[in-house]
């Protein structure tokens, strides 16, 4: 097998920037991925086989005007997208909004989400993932929880725009998992890009909530950032990286068992996005 190309990159000053179509490609021999074109040592790839490195690893970035131009380009793209882009910004970068929507429904369908399942979307946001799920489910089967009132308001607009009011989803503004109780158990609980935006205390309360509401054969899926790193922040929420043991302990307290299903890119998430390395956890009720 070829050695991994990231170890010995040599850079070509004349390499063109990758066009968007190239962005998602991986280096065929070594599978390295990112969005910056490099040329690599002969052990890895001839010039015809591009390999991509993250911006932070690209020496050209030191002198490049791109870091200044990129936010401008993003802002222009958002302007072009208009009101819906403003809505999409509430749950992440609008540029990846469609990819994130597509991944969520594809993953849940692959896991066997049935139209009759009772579905709980924790941190449902503006229904980026929720709309295709609501479409797939029978009426009255979807419940979304969201902490921000203005985001719930946008979620209702998104539902209306999709013409799905007849599916009668429940959207609940919730800021305290310990005080919240649903009148039914759920077959599938889903927390997409949510657990790592919670403080440890809130994550514990959310997982306990799942433990109290999951049906005996129910399953909860949640993607997390595994490892150890200082906390970051996003729209007033933390961005936390925790070892698997952390989630195992919270789940154990809630009567659940954790099984890591794999990295997102192994589960169909676009590999060129940085989130691809997040891990999808499955939590199920512990068997007696
Ligand atoms: C990155 S967004 C993801 C939204 C949605 N799951 C999706 O994929 O489109 C994270 C969402 O979690 C919500 N959130 C964060 N903490 C929460 C909490 N304690 N309870 C409910 N929602 C929460 C945020 O307001 C935000 O809308």
In the chain, what are the domain boundaries? 5-62, 95-285
End-to-end CA distance of the chain: 46
Cα separation of 113 and 119, whole Å?
9
Query: What's the whole-model pTM score?
Result: 0.75
Structure-token pair, residue 236: 């007033």
Q: Cα 56 to chain center, whole Å?
A: 21
pLDDT at 32 over 90: no
Say yes or no: CB of residue 129 within 6 Å of ligand 1.
yes
Of the pLDDT bands very low, low, confident and very high (cuts 50, 70, 90), residue 44 is very low
Task: Please state, as a whole number, how many other Cβ atoms lie within 10 Å of the Cβ of residue 57.
Answer: 13
Cβ–Cβ < 8 Å for 2, 43: yes
Ligand 1 centroid to Cα of residue 73, in Å, is 26
* 80 — pLDDT class (breaks 50, 70, 90): low
| Mean pLDDT, residues 138-160 taken together | 97
Instruction: Indicate which atom in ligand 1 lies nearest the CA of residue 202.
Output: 19
Q: Between these two residues, 81 and 125, which has the higher pLDDT value?
A: 125
Q: Is 139 left (phi over 0), alpha (psi -120 to 50) or beta?
A: beta
d(CA 18, CA 25): 10
pLDDT tens figures, 88-102: 999 999 999 999 999
Q: What is the pLDDT confidence band of residue 124, given thresholds at 50, 70 and 90?
A: very high
Q: Check whether 43 has a pLDDT greater than 80.
A: no
Q: In which band, very low, low, confident or very high, does the pLDDT at 86 lie, cut at 50, 70 and 90?
A: confident
Residue bearing the CA closest to ligand 1, atom 10: 194
Rounded Cα–Cα distance for residues 119 and 253 (Å): 23
CA 103 to chain centre: 8
- What whole-number distance in Å separates Cα of residue 282 and Cα of residue 224? 11
Average pLDDT over residues 222-243: 98
The CATH number of domain 95-285, selected from 3.20.20.70, 3.40.50.300, 3.40.50.150, 3.40.47.10: 3.40.50.150
Asked if residue 170 lies in contact with residue 197, where contact means CB atoms within 8 angstroms, the answer is no
Q: What is the mean pLDDT of residues 246-267?
A: 98
**Coil vs helix vs strand at 249:** helix
Q: Which of 83, 77, 135 is nearest to 104 (CA)?
A: 135
Q: Model confidence at 77, in pLDDT bands (50, 70, 90)?
A: low
Ligand 1 pocket, residue 198 CB under 6 Å: yes
Rounded to 5°, the CA angle 207-196-141 comes to: 50
């Amino acid at each position: 097998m070829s050695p991994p190309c990231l170890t010995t990159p040599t850079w070509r000053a004349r390499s063109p920037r990758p066009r968007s179509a190239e962005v998602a490609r991986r280096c065929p021999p070594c599978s390295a991925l990112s969005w910056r074109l490099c040329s690599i040592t002969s052990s890895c790839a001839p010039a015809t086989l591009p390999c991509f490195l993250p911006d932070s690893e690209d020496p050209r970035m030191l002198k490049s005007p791109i870091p200044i131009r990129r936010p401008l380009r993003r802002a222009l793209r958002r302007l072009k997208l208009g009101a819906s882009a403003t809505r999409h910004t509430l749950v992440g970068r609008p540029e990846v909004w469609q990819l994130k929507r597509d991944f969520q429904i594809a993953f849940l369908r692959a896991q066997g989400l049935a139209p009759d399942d009772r579905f709980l979307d924790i941190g449902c946001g503006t229904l980026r993932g929720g709309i295709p799920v609501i479409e797939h489910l029978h009426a009255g089967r979807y419940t979304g929880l969201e902490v921000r009132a203005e985001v719930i308001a946008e979620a209702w607009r998104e539902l209306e725009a999709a013409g799905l009011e007849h599916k009668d989803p429940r959207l609940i503004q919730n800021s305290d998992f310990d005080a919240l109780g649903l009148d039914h158990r759920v077959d599938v609980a889903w927390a997409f890009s949510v657990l790592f935006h919670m403080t440890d205390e809130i994550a514990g309360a959310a997982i306990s909530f799942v433990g109290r509401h999951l049906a005996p054969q129910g399953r909860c899926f949640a993607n997390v950032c595994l490892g150890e790193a200082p906390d970051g922040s996003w729209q007033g929420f933390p961005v936390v990286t925790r070892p698997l043991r952390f989630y195992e302990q919270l789940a154990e307290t809630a009567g659940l068992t954790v099984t890591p299903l794999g990295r997102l890119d192994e589960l169909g998430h676009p590999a060129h996005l940085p989130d691809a390395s997040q891990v999808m956890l499955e939590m199920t009720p512990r068997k007696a």
